[in-house]
Structure 1
Amino acid sequence: MTVAILMSTYNGAKYLEEQIQSIINQSYPDWHLYIRDDGSTDDTPKIINKYAEKDTRITFFNQDNIKNIGINRSFLQLLSETSADLYMFSDQDDVWQKNKVSLSVKAMKEKNNANQPACVFTELQVVDKELIPLRLMNNGNIWFDFPHFLFGNCVTGCTMMINQQLKTKLKLDLTNIDKIYLHDWWIALITSAIGKLIYIKEPTILYRQHGDNVEGSKKNNLFTLSSRALHLQSEEKAMLKMFLMDQEFQKLFAKQVTGVNKQYLDGYVKLLGNCSFINRLKLIITLPPKRLHLKGRLLFSYMILCKYRGFSHLQLNHM
């Protein structure tokens, strides 16, 4: 099965060669790496050119049209304009374990016998900038049901593999990318509704943390939640982006969710309009926010009940 590895880069010269080399070293041979640069001003394009010139399995996707379009558009353009049996996403600064591709291909084959739309994702080993292990990213905190994905994501893009069957269901040509919070979360949300999510407990990647990317590895601990509680404006903006993405899902896939999934989708998307305190209270009582931890559920409920006016104001500014 052919695997298209999709990488988006931006000023990643410091770690890019190590990441590309870890892909070249994969035990699974039938892959092709497509790299789209998102407007780098450092030596990133030179590095991409160097590897593309010496390895026919590597393509500088936009060599003659380098411009910044944002990470979501960059990855989804790569996905739209490449062809393979399977697709993976790659960051520019991690290191892949040698068996990363082969493990994902094996899981896709063995756990998706019906060839339905599917997404494989794996555990991550979080490391510092020198690749010294810090902790496991998920450590068992994962979910597979649609309501949970309306409120949060546990599928990290750099661990994902999706099949062609799922790609054809994503409606990429109809999607308003401005409403997509993160491309990996969007794909996981769709998969939880119409396909199959497959998890590999083994870490397949060294997920490097350095000054520019620590957001992706934050732990949902008491300190983090306390900090979030003191900076509610950013929480309001994040909630708005989440509900706008849910609204985009509703527009494109409403007919493919039923029962409690539809109740959750319709109920929380309504928060983008005018919604009284009583109706908001009824909503979180009958359909409580799906967060793994009580602290997260309480914070989310507080935001909906007590910060709704500011949230509505943010929506008007956003639109």
Structure 2
Amino acid sequence: MNLRPSVSVIMPTYNGEKNILEQLDSIRQQTYPVEEVIILDDRSTDNTVSMVKEYIKKYNLTNWQVEENKKNLGWRLNFFCLLNKASGDIVFPSDQDDIWYLDKINKMVDFFLSHSTANVLVSNYDELIEFGGVSYPCSQRVIEKVTQEGRIPFTLKNIYLNRPGWVYAVRKSFLKEVKIFFDFGVVPVHDSAMWSVGVLTDSLFILREPTGQWRKHGQSAMRTEKKDETKKGLFGIRIRKLERLKEITISSIHYLEHSSASIPQKKDRAQILHKLIREYEIRSSIMEKRKIYLVFTNISKYTSLHPILADLWFLIKNK
């Protein structure tokens, strides 16, 4: 990597006219030079595309480009398409409605320069909660055993992402590993892919300070999915959550099987992941049958105390 690495910012858009200009401002005004900004619209039905084009023209942003998908891909696939398009040494995913602090890129690039083994970097964030929005303070949840230099190690808890995708940055040279996760994953998501592959290769790090505001409102794609899930009832929601965790775990196993990268304790980590899959299958079965005693009869199949207590609490509370 050059002494002054080039930076790409990628942004998928869909019906984002309400908040997108504020986010574009926060990217344009970054204190670190941005080599390219690639915006890929997923067939918006509002004025998102025309607003972005007018913005680019207004500020003469010759290194910015906006493209439109020929068909709607959905936000997951749209992000992966953008990762493949980026050419900068370091790639920054961006949502269409958050606000970056103006030194975000500068601080995260500096971190990469001082931590040569970091391939994926996440940060903390502040929340901007609007009407209809719900706080999601994952930055307050403890990440286990983070090293003094900021590396997030492989543990049962750290396998699963603990930060939203817009606080990530990834080395372009590492995207080939993320692509393996995507190619062989089960319903892969860009932030989950980067987090999982980073943890598995001991190259996921955290910058322990906020780099922007996560706008929380009732119109995001993730929020819409969660509303749909509430129709399934409390037990249905919990079973679906366990299924998602199982999907991420299976995807991690597939990554280990297909990657040629040097992965520490590869066999041991694969065994742990297989145990987690069996645990999720048992837990889903218990939730379907809604029987408290089944937790105790299957207690040896749990991997730690926390899920045992969590299942007992949920079953007792919703008896």
Same fold (TM over 0.5): yes
* Counterpart residue number, 1:90: 94
Q: Distance in 1 between matches of 2:92 and 2:208?
A: 17
Note the residue ranges of structure 2 that are not aligned, 5 or more in a row. 145-151, 224-229, 286-293
* Counterpart residue number, 1:288: 304
Residue 309 (structure 2) aligned to one of 298, 306, 318: 298
Deviation at 1:239, TM superposition (A): 1.3
Note the residue ranges of structure 1 that are not aligned, 5 or more in a row. 217-226, 305-319
Q: Distance in 2 between matches of 1:173 and 1:43?
A: 34
Worse-matched range after superposition: 191-200 or 21-30: 191-200
Q: Trace 1:47-66 onto structure 2 (pairs within 5 A).
A: 47-53=51-57, 54-60=60-66, 62-63=67-68, 65-66=69-70
Secondary structure, counterpart of 2:139 in structure 1: coil
Q: Distance in 1 between matches of 2:187 and 2:244?
A: 7
* Counterpart residue number, 1:308: none
1:239 has 2:245 as partner: no
Paired letter, 1:28: Y
- Is the Cα–Cα contact under 8 Å of residues 122 and 199 in structure 1 kept in the other structure? yes
- Is the Cα–Cα contact under 8 Å of residues 185 and 252 in structure 2 kept in the other structure? no
- Is the Cα–Cα contact under 8 Å of residues 38 and 68 in structure 1 kept in the other structure? yes
Q: C-alpha deviations, 1:263-296, integer Å up to 9, x for none?
A: 3201122457789979953221xx217xxxx5x6
Q: Trace 1:236-275 onto structure 2 (pairs within 5 A).
A: 236-254=239-257, 256=263, 257-258=265-266, 260-270=268-278
Paired letter, 1:44: T
Q: Distance in 1 between matches of 2:26 and 2:136?
A: 21
CA RMSD, Structure 1 to Structure 2 (Å): 3.4
- Is the Cα–Cα contact under 8 Å of residues 278 and 301 in structure 2 kept in the other structure? no
* Counterpart residue number, 1:205: 212
* Counterpart residue number, 1:193: 200
* Counterpart residue number, 2:290: none
Q: C-alpha deviations, 1:12-31, integer Å up to 9, x for none?
A: 10000110011000000133
Relative to the length of structure 1, the TM-score reads 0.75
Q: Trace 1:78-117 onto structure 2 (pairs within 5 A).
A: 78-110=82-114, 112-113=115-116, 116=117
Identity across aligned pairs (percent)? 21
Q: Distance in 1 between matches of 2:118 and 2:112?
A: 10
- Is the Cα–Cα contact under 8 Å of residues 22 and 95 in structure 1 kept in the other structure? yes
Deviation at 1:168, TM superposition (A): 2.3
Secondary structure, counterpart of 1:68 in structure 2: coil
Q: Distance in 2 between matches of 1:5 and 1:297?
A: 42
1:120 has 2:121 as partner: yes
When the two structures are aligned, how many residues end up with a matched partner?
A: 278
Relative to the length of structure 2, the TM-score reads 0.75
* Counterpart residue number, 1:167: 175
Secondary structure, counterpart of 1:207 in structure 2: strand
Secondary structure, counterpart of 2:178 in structure 1: coil
CA change 1:301–1:91 in 2 (3 A) is farther
* Counterpart residue number, 1:311: none
Q: Distance in 2 between matches of 1:73 and 1:252?
A: 18
Q: Distance in 1 between matches of 2:136 and 2:299?
A: 38
